[in-house]
Structure 1
Amino acid sequence: MISYIGMKTQEVVIKPSVKVVMMPDTEILDEVTVVAYGTKRKQDLVGSISSVKNEIISNSQATSVSNALEGAVAGLQVVSSSGQPGQDANIVLRGIGSISASNNALIVVDGVPFNGKLSDINPTDIASVNVSKDAVSNSLYGSRAAGGVVMITTKTGRKDKVAINFNGSWGVAQRAYKDYDMATDPGEFYRLSWYGLRNTYWAAGKSIEDSNLAASQDLLGELGNYNAYIIPQGEYLVTPDGKLNPNARLRYNDSFADALFDNAFRQEYNVSASGGNDRTDYYVSMGFLDNDSYVLGSSYERFTARANVNSQLKSWLKVGTNVGYSKATQNGVQENAGAASNPFEVARSWAPIFPVHAYDAEGNMKYYEDGSPMYDAGNGETDGTSKRPTATNQNVIANMKEDIRETVYNNLTSRSYLEISFLKNFKFTANYSYDFTNSSQTVFYTPLIGDGQSFGGRGTKGSYNTTTTNFNQILAYSNVFGDNHHLSAKIGHEYYKYEYQYLAGQKTNFFNPNNPELDNGGQMQYINSYTANHNIEGYFGMADYDYSNKYYLSAAFRRDGTSRFLDRWGNFWSVGAAWRISNEAFMEGTNSWLNDLKLRASYGTQGNESILSEYDYAYVYTPYQDQYTVTWNGSELGYSPEFYGNPDLTWEKQKTFDVGVDFRLFDRVYGSFEYFYRRTDDMLFKRPVAYSTAGRPYNWENLGAMKNTGIEFEVNVDIFNQPDLKWTVSLVGSHYKNRIVTLPEENRENGITSGPFNLREGKSRFEYYTYMYAGMDEKGNAMWYMDETNEKGEVTGRTTTTTYADATRYFIGKSALPDFNGGLSTTFSYKGIDLSIATAFQIGGYAYDYSYLSGMSSSFYVGHNKDMWKTFNPETGQGSLPIWNADNASNSFTQQSDLNLIKASYFSIRNITLGYTLPKNLMQKLGVEKLRIYATADNLGLWSKRQGFDPRVAMAGSDDEYGGYSPMRVISGGINLTF
């Protein structure tokens, strides 16, 4: 075996005389990576930049590329609060670096910061995704790069004959994972409700015998007299021994879940053409996606088009333009917690005894005069019932069929450049981009039933326009001195302008129940409009030097001005160095097994000014100015304080240190290991204030410091790498810790409480500060720990209490941060067969699973999780959970405490794709260059601590999916045809 750095390893037969011609390994020497304002050879990188494998993007059926990145890059976390098709996920790199400001990565598309929806970009148009994580890679983006940078590059043409590609796929969309283990059988639900009612009576002082009888007598009354069974006159539905009456005959068994969720059809078509000659290349594409969801009334439809043309007009002049357009229509559903029109909350939290349709006393479905089935809205439509104990005038099926929740997105992006080469080593480039997005939203609640009934119908129309303009000019210099000295430098200027225009109005009392237009409404509720602006101007420069492809130096500086702060300007810089150890003379003896070894380190600063989104009213002005709401009392114009500005507000400042090693062994094993340190000073923080102080419950301030430290690795192994047989396995992973370093003097002793956490010097931002469960007393009541104090208020010990309000909060040593997260993937190909598998995982960390706790409510008329059987049974004195007592809900075991924290570990199968490419010689006879058929599946499996619990929405330590849109599984088959 003979190998050399930059050359392909070859195996030769040993003979007395052997002539070996080494072939360059262009994958090692010439692989180019996108960096800030340009490209670099991968081997010359000083910073931390990871490339997402092409098959991760091409195989995924996610409507947004953001949802395809889970487990693909070390240190990258994807946080998705909604499975709605067309919804973007948040991308977080190297953990939470800010408390109140944005932690999301900056998205850069074709070299320009992008403010639109990633779902507006067709994934089949994406050529590469690179993730930039350290200061030396990001400091040129200055004030916007504190959360890292995700750089997306769209496809360009090839200087070759025209190639036409068609990709079509057809499949099914379904709910990806099982819901919580709820008591969905009416009989079990009645028995569980009887059990809770009996225990409530016993806790109030009745004997077991009296409690059993009273529960049987009062059960149906507590449930609004909803009886899904027919029972003989004078008999109990649930007998005093807690069993379902054997004479009970099922009257109806409607399931909201069955009516709401069903398999749906998905189809997608993409066609592209690319080609060119020595002077010009082009790429054009069109795509159409029709993605009905498994949820009734939810869908996503998208049309995309793109044209990318580059032309070398003169030897010294190159120009190009890249224009993309998309139109998407998204029909969504209510996702707010507690909403009776939220399909997920209804399916999970409504009692299974509440029917979808109305029934008579014999169990026959009732009908409207027009012959359509009558809905049960909780107002006595079903014979024998009184009012539903919750959510009267509501039926989520009727609501979703009559209500409208539609948003239409029109998105236009353009990137144009002019490149002039002069004086041999100089190049001037001017880049201009213009992005425009219009979002038109219609939300209509029918006057016939549901949320709009009491208003005579309620309709809202909104139009939201965003315009982003970016213009930069870059002067670049590059030269080689002698044979070994390489120098490149850039200086530049950038102007960025973002404008958001909002116009919305709402009316009630609609004349025609089927017409959502505002001119059909009789009473105006409001009409609002505003325009928000955000401007950044920056000057930057950078220089790179390397000697003999062994020693590398890099430095960058940027000065940014922003419209968000009164003190406009901030400076950001970075330095980095790398040493390719494998190119040293003393390493020559390792060439047979060590292909590459590079040590690199960087240090620098970045800023964060992302404190308000366009949906926050305060964004209309600037956070350093006082803001007021204009009022009118019928005769006089006035104003009231909305927000008190802070003229001293300034950037969050991050200092980042990164050290890593890149390696390649035996021409098969390659990857990197890294350590990072990130400290945030002058943290942007929403300081809570009394409502009487201002219209808002907070003011923005700079306070304190926080740090993150962690390790990351990426390891790839080419098990086979032959022309007809290739098999690669990849593993990425990361671990990080978080600490609050400093706080203002007035907060150092007691910290700042925020939800289940407390910001305290020396503690993690995500260590739980909550109540500690102390077990049960002899009556099954939950107990919590509380401090004992003397007359001076000093803590002298610890005792227990059954009164939750008297309990004490403690740091409990458990964190919302995972111990480790990452992804495992593999690609395999043999002759024409290809297989790829992508997975993601997380180990450790804790979360509050509020969706689960909603099913552990002490109310009788809500959906019950089967774990309610585990509550204390006064008849046996047994139970692993405290007693179910509806009269003592304020002291329920479901209150926030360490009892209800759950391990957030998980393993998910993100995608499996199997394909077959027909023999090339056969296809060429048919005039086809390539034909591949494939089957692919997204979200095939999720394994977590509890059925129904998805830890991926628990970035801040809580299950934010409470009532939210559960992820979607897509299984499809398709063809890829190239002419």
Structure 2
Amino acid sequence: MQKLRLLIGLLAFLGTFVAQAQTRQVSGRVLNAADRTPLPGVSVLLKGTTTGASTNAEGAFELSVPAADGATLVFSFVGFESVEMPVRGESTFNVQLKEQAQGLNEVVVVGYGTQRKRDITGSVASISAEEVAETPIARADQILQGRVSGVQVTQTNSEPGGNVSIRIRGTNSINTGNEPLFVVDGFPGAGDLNSINPSDIESVEVLKDASATAIYGSRGANGVVLITTKKGKVGKGTINLEAYTGVQIVRHKYELMNAKEFAQYLNEVNPGTGTGAIPQPYRQGQIDSLGEGTDWQDAILRPARMSNYQLGFNGGTEETRYNLSFNYFDQEGIVLNSGFQRATVRLNLNRKISRKLSFDFSSQLAGTFEKRAFANSSGGSNGGVILDALRISPIVPVRDAAGNYTYSNGPLPYVEDVGNPVAYAEKAKDYRTIARGLFNVAGNYEIIPGLTLRITGGLDYNNNQQDVYRPSDIFLGRLTNGSANRVQTNRYSWLNENTLTYDKKLNENNFLNVVVGVTEQQFYGNDFSATANGFFTNTLGSDNLALGSSIQTPNSGRFTNSLASYFGRVNYRLFERYLFTATLRADGSSRFGKNNKWGYFPSAAFAYRLIDEKFMSDFTFLSDLKLRVGFGVTGNQEINNYQSLARYDVGSYASGSTRLVGLVPANILNPDLRWESTAATNVGIDAAFLQNRITFTADAYYKKTTDLLLRVATPRSTGYGDILLNAGSVENKGLEFALNTTNFDTKAFGWKTNFNVSLNRNKVLDLYSVDELPVGASSSSLFVGAGLGQTSILRKGEPIGSFYGYQFDGIWQTTDEIVASGTKTAVRPGDPRYVDQNGDGAITAADRVIIGRAQPKFIYGITNGFTAGGFSLSVFIQGVQGQDVLNLNRYELESGITTTNKLKTVVNRWTPTNTDTNIPRAGSTIRRSTGIVSDVVEDGSFVRLKTVTLGYTLPKFGKVLKSASVYVTAQNLVTITKYTGFDPEVNSFGRDNLSLNTDYNAYPSTRTFIAGLKIGF
């Protein structure tokens, strides 16, 4: 027995020796080719076997391989291109993996989950962190501008902190919201994105068709934008620092009359003759000495700096990953004493407790501070500091001989009594402070392989305070002896979502993904405002309203609304080429009537990966070919709270010296009120050529929105002006194209191009009881009595945003011409002439016609990216074609009103000796008293060199510094347009649906130059 044991041991030793003689150890490190950082978790596999290893936190690995030549190692990692390396006697391997270009296996975020790009059946566009980083932007939604087909982004207000308006595939609604639903890290209804730091964004997905958005039900009709912030990555911790600073200058100014020209104009409209006439304001000798006078645009505008500082920490292990960032953004406004500041802290954590249990936590704390010197410097509602800087007399200096601000305009009574806009900008206070916290925590538990439960809780808290003070020593504060106003608003919502996801490959040919969920979201808000007048000191401003001698009645309010939902989605993949998606969501909203609390929103889509058919193998130039078709119904519930109920407003009246307060009915009860429904069909094609060097996407869609939440006029006998009903319909149909090409891709030189173009046609189909309805949201006193509040018309068969007014037909030249025309309108030579559409001899409201359309014929964007050595160049061009803009600044500054300054064009006004002109005579009031006219509706088409960025990546040096790059950026560098205003991209009435593309007292746009630095440790 002892000999037997000895023999067995000897054989085992010899076997081990032989095995070791047939294998040998290899080792090495795997790095990220982009920044030379270690890549942990990389799979190192001996090709053709199951033998392998993974890299550790330092990117290192060890592996036994056959001693004989012929073995090959395969290095693979999610998000990176795989590399194969033959062993050939080598024992040490240093491997660099390149990040994968966006391709079919890229994972994109969709509603309540993710999908491979190749498996998507709907219309979904994605923007990566790299694309976000290419352009320094102030707010997150600006990244969509010109980069996604079917998405129109308009900077409605260029003021720092100003809003943008986003339309995805057109305008669906008339009286309700048209903005998309924003979802930040899974939290829907994230609202204003001013507090989101763009540098924290990992990706942006835009869900455009009903197949993609139906899972958001009653909030999906206007499209959905999913924003995912950066998460921690496994590996050694990294520190990233970015800083940039720059200057903004006004892009374009109006050409106005100088002091001499305006004095001559005042003399012409005040000839000083006739009974009771006032004398002319200036003698000719005085006029000659006036010269250029004050350029009030230069006085109110300035070069303004902007800067941004970002510090980020990222890293983690397989169990715990983290991303922590700090950001400070500071932007001065080009208007004096205006600006915007934002400070944010973001912490994202991902913790894997066990193989089955994990947690995700995302959070952001943000504070923003906005200084607005943009309100009215003259009182009332007829303009603001921008418009006052255009219309105040250039003869008046900014400061008097003693160095004090000039109080108001002059000389009176020849000019309008407006305040000094520079004094207002410098002395008045209009501040807004917002504190916001956005938190989301989720737990994930794998019940069985493939079946995961996710429970999410979220909170969005927003505290907004606005302080306004107009001191007594400026024009606007003179009547009230100082005026203070403070407004406090609080908004918060909490969210609970519970989802089950079953993700299973059933067999070789069948794959199933099912998501079902139950969610609830509650919204709360309260408001308080107070106003006081008559301050004996301006020292404390709005900080102590009790100092005012006249305290106005304060206002306060509170609201709540809720949304409860059930949803489900099934994705089924057959043979890797037949793709099916079906979705259903049920939403219960407190905003609607008791008879229609619940709505149901289904969708279905099918995609056919034609490229995966065997018969396509002969078409070697094709890399991908997929056909898509989908249909679904989504909703829009964006109305104010309690609209279906019989509400009451506060009413009061004076009885002697006593104020009596009571309640008055506010609206008519409507228990049947429900959401708007948008039924949409989408047909698309995705194709790629030449090994994905060229990718192409095209979509055609048709959307019909019915049950519009429309305000319908009611008979006076009801005691109400209107009622909110589900009535009317609107359609949108369009085409979208996106083309991405890799033109060159070598180590020495690279060139890529991304191009997209979209066209949408909008039409009003039904308006309930009428065929047309003049509309317009202007509340300015400029329009009172002139019918200018109705600047647009809703008409069956026409798009929303159709400008409505009189057709300009030149200038009346002679008295004989006027008599021969038979016109009944009292006009003189030099007055404007308008087309008498109905031939009744008089210009009346019946002669108004559609004189322009705000919605563009098509929009486009093109980006070219170049690389050469360490240099990179990105050039982004944005364009809008076929839109009209209503230039109400020009309406006023070219009109016959005699008390304000005029555009330079008015120097060429009609006189008996200057008849070859379209500018009316001095003092003509016909244009102002008639309404809007076609000659102030301008072509707002433009092509803009939006962003140019030149960067250089510094060579790597040292062990601490992992990456470093510098860059310079120019924004809004060149704009080619015929529009005469500050900027053709404008809407002074913000997101108002009925006053699109209206330019009145708009904040001027800027041209910006930035220099920045990025460092990684």
Which residue number in structure 1 is paired with residue 479 of structure 2? 454
| CA 810–390 in structure 1, closer or farther in 2 if over 3 Å, else same | closer
Which residue number in structure 2 is paired with residue 900 of structure 1? 936
- In structure 2, what is the Cα distance between the partners aligned to 1:690 and 1:168? 62
SS of the residue corresponding to residue 572 of structure 1 reads: strand
Which residue number in structure 2 is paired with residue 232 of structure 1? none
Matched, 1:655 2:679: yes
Which residue number in structure 1 is paired with residue 11 of structure 2? none
**One-letter code aligned to 2:405:** Y
- In structure 1, what is the Cα distance between the partners aligned to 2:760 and 2:412? 56
- In structure 2, what is the Cα distance between the partners aligned to 1:927 and 1:648? 67
Q: Output one character per residue of 1:238-287: Cα deviation in whole Å (capped at 9) or x when no partner.
A: 8xxxxx6xxx3348833322221111222221100000111111000001
Which residue number in structure 2 is paired with residue 785 of structure 1? 835
Q: Output one character per residue of 1:19-56: Cα deviation in whole Å (capped at 9) or x when no partner.
A: xxxx9967424311110011111111101111125444
- In structure 2, what is the Cα distance between the partners aligned to 1:496 and 1:486? 32
Is the Cα–Cα contact under 8 Å of residues 302 and 326 in structure 1 kept in the other structure?
yes
Is the Cα–Cα contact under 8 Å of residues 783 and 800 in structure 1 kept in the other structure?
no
Which residue number in structure 1 is paired with residue 264 of structure 2? 191
**One-letter code aligned to 1:557:** L
Q: Which runs of 5+ in 1 are unaligned?
A: 1-5, 11-22, 199-210, 228-234, 239-243, 359-364, 368-372, 613-618, 788-797
Match of 1:930 among 946, 956, 963: 963
**One-letter code aligned to 2:406:** D
Deviation at 1:688, TM superposition (A): 4.3
**One-letter code aligned to 2:203:** S
Alignment of 1:527-542 (within 5 A): 527-542=554-569
Which residue number in structure 1 is paired with residue 240 of structure 2? 165
Match of 2:178 among 97, 103, 125: 103
Is the Cα–Cα contact under 8 Å of residues 771 and 807 in structure 1 kept in the other structure?
no
Matched, 1:375 2:405: yes
Deviation at 1:540, TM superposition (A): 0.4
Is the Cα–Cα contact under 8 Å of residues 56 and 72 in structure 1 kept in the other structure?
no
Q: Output one character per residue of 1:448-484: Cα deviation in whole Å (capped at 9) or x when no partner.
A: 2222221121111121111111110001111112211
Is the Cα–Cα contact under 8 Å of residues 378 and 388 in structure 1 kept in the other structure?
no
Matched, 1:683 2:714: no
Which residue number in structure 2 is paired with residue 577 of structure 1? 606
- In structure 2, what is the Cα distance between the partners aligned to 1:388 and 1:775? 28
SS of the residue corresponding to residue 554 of structure 2 reads: strand
Deviation at 1:699, TM superposition (A): 2.9
**One-letter code aligned to 1:947:** T
Q: Output one character per residue of 1:772-823: Cα deviation in whole Å (capped at 9) or x when no partner.
A: 3344433243333335xxxxxxxxxx4274x5336522356x5322111111
| CA 930–388 in structure 1, closer or farther in 2 if over 3 Å, else same | farther
Is the Cα–Cα contact under 8 Å of residues 801 and 996 in structure 2 kept in the other structure?
no
- In structure 2, what is the Cα distance between the partners aligned to 1:435 and 1:56? 27
Deviation at 1:418, TM superposition (A): 0.2
Matched, 1:422 2:447: yes
Match of 1:729 among 747, 753, 778: 753
Is the Cα–Cα contact under 8 Å of residues 396 and 409 in structure 2 kept in the other structure?
no
Deviation at 1:397, TM superposition (A): 1.9
Alignment of 1:362-401 (within 5 A): 365=401, 367=402, 373-378=403-408, 385-386=411-412, 389-392=415-418, 394-401=419-426
| CA 845–398 in structure 1, closer or farther in 2 if over 3 Å, else same | closer
| CA 282–8 in structure 1, closer or farther in 2 if over 3 Å, else same | closer
Which residue number in structure 1 is paired with residue 744 of structure 2? 720
Is the Cα–Cα contact under 8 Å of residues 171 and 265 in structure 1 kept in the other structure?
yes
| CA 692–330 in structure 1, closer or farther in 2 if over 3 Å, else same | farther
- In structure 2, what is the Cα distance between the partners aligned to 1:90 and 1:563? 27
Which residue number in structure 1 is paired with residue 631 of structure 2? 603
Match of 1:493 among 494, 512, 518: 518
Q: Output one character per residue of 1:601-644: Cα deviation in whole Å (capped at 9) or x when no partner.
A: 110000111023xxxxxx4x444323222436437542223333
Deviation at 1:915, TM superposition (A): 0.8
Is the Cα–Cα contact under 8 Å of residues 821 and 843 in structure 1 kept in the other structure?
yes
Is the Cα–Cα contact under 8 Å of residues 192 and 864 in structure 1 kept in the other structure?
no
Match of 1:475 among 500, 515, 536: 500
Is the Cα–Cα contact under 8 Å of residues 675 and 707 in structure 2 kept in the other structure?
yes
Alignment of 1:162-311 (within 5 A): 162-175=237-250, 177-183=251-257, 185-194=258-267, 197=269, 225=281, 235-237=283-285, 248-250=288-290, 253-311=293-351
Is the Cα–Cα contact under 8 Å of residues 446 and 458 in structure 1 kept in the other structure?
yes
SS of the residue corresponding to residue 985 of structure 2 reads: helix
Which residue number in structure 1 is paired with residue 646 of structure 2? 625
Which residue number in structure 2 is paired with residue 868 of structure 1? 906
Deviation at 1:391, TM superposition (A): 2.8
| CA 75–164 in structure 1, closer or farther in 2 if over 3 Å, else same | same
SS of the residue corresponding to residue 398 of structure 1 reads: helix
- In structure 1, what is the Cα distance between the partners aligned to 2:249 and 2:102? 40
SS of the residue corresponding to residue 161 of structure 1 reads: strand
Q: Output one character per residue of 1:81-137: Cα deviation in whole Å (capped at 9) or x when no partner.
A: 211212231211111111111111111101111334211011110111111100010
Which residue number in structure 2 is paired with residue 948 of structure 1? 981
Is the Cα–Cα contact under 8 Å of residues 156 and 282 in structure 1 kept in the other structure?
yes
Matched, 1:963 2:1001: yes
SS of the residue corresponding to residue 571 of structure 1 reads: strand
| CA 694–420 in structure 1, closer or farther in 2 if over 3 Å, else same | farther
**One-letter code aligned to 1:651:** W
**One-letter code aligned to 2:602:** W
SS of the residue corresponding to residue 998 of structure 2 reads: coil
SS of the residue corresponding to residue 664 of structure 2 reads: strand
**One-letter code aligned to 1:125:** D
SS of the residue corresponding to residue 308 of structure 2 reads: strand
Match of 1:809 among 825, 839, 848: 848
| CA 386–845 in structure 1, closer or farther in 2 if over 3 Å, else same | closer
Q: TM-score, normalised by structure 1?
A: 0.85
**One-letter code aligned to 2:192:** K
Which residue number in structure 2 is paired with residue 133 of structure 1? 208
- In structure 2, what is the Cα distance between the partners aligned to 1:977 and 1:309? 23
- In structure 1, what is the Cα distance between the partners aligned to 2:755 and 2:175? 32
Deviation at 1:398, TM superposition (A): 1.9
Matched, 1:738 2:767: no
Deviation at 1:66, TM superposition (A): 1.9
Matched, 1:939 2:972: yes
SS of the residue corresponding to residue 951 of structure 1 reads: coil
SS of the residue corresponding to residue 741 of structure 1 reads: strand
Deviation at 1:583, TM superposition (A): 0.8
Aligned-residue sequence identity (percent) comes to 26
**One-letter code aligned to 1:784:** Y
Deviation at 1:345, TM superposition (A): 0.9
Which residue number in structure 2 is paired with residue 549 of structure 1? 576
Which residue number in structure 2 is paired with residue 231 of structure 1? none
Q: TM-score, normalised by structure 2?
A: 0.82
**One-letter code aligned to 1:303:** A
Match of 1:352 among 375, 378, 394: 394
Aligned residue-pair number: 882
- In structure 1, what is the Cα distance between the partners aligned to 2:198 and 2:548? 41
Q: Output one character per residue of 1:874-900: Cα deviation in whole Å (capped at 9) or x when no partner.
A: 2344323444443545556xx323333
| CA 570–221 in structure 1, closer or farther in 2 if over 3 Å, else same | farther
- In structure 2, what is the Cα distance between the partners aligned to 1:76 and 1:820? 11
| CA 32–501 in structure 1, closer or farther in 2 if over 3 Å, else same | same
- In structure 2, what is the Cα distance between the partners aligned to 1:288 and 1:588? 54
- In structure 2, what is the Cα distance between the partners aligned to 1:84 and 1:752? 30
SS of the residue corresponding to residue 390 of structure 2 reads: helix
- In structure 1, what is the Cα distance between the partners aligned to 2:996 and 2:714? 24
Matched, 1:640 2:664: yes
SS of the residue corresponding to residue 886 of structure 1 reads: coil
Q: Output one character per residue of 1:654-675: Cα deviation in whole Å (capped at 9) or x when no partner.
A: 0010011011111211130110
SS of the residue corresponding to residue 643 of structure 1 reads: coil
- In structure 1, what is the Cα distance between the partners aligned to 2:235 and 2:942? 46
Alignment of 1:751-900 (within 5 A): 755-777=790-812, 778=817, 779-786=829-836, 798-799=838-839, 801=841, 803-805=842-844, 807-811=846-850, 814-886=852-924, 888=926, 890=928, 895-900=931-936
- Name which structure has the greater RCO, CA cutoff 8 Å, separation 6+: 1
SS of the residue corresponding to residue 507 of structure 1 reads: strand
Over aligned residue pairs, what C-alpha RMSD do you find?
Answer: 2.8
Which residue number in structure 1 is paired with residue 66 of structure 2? none
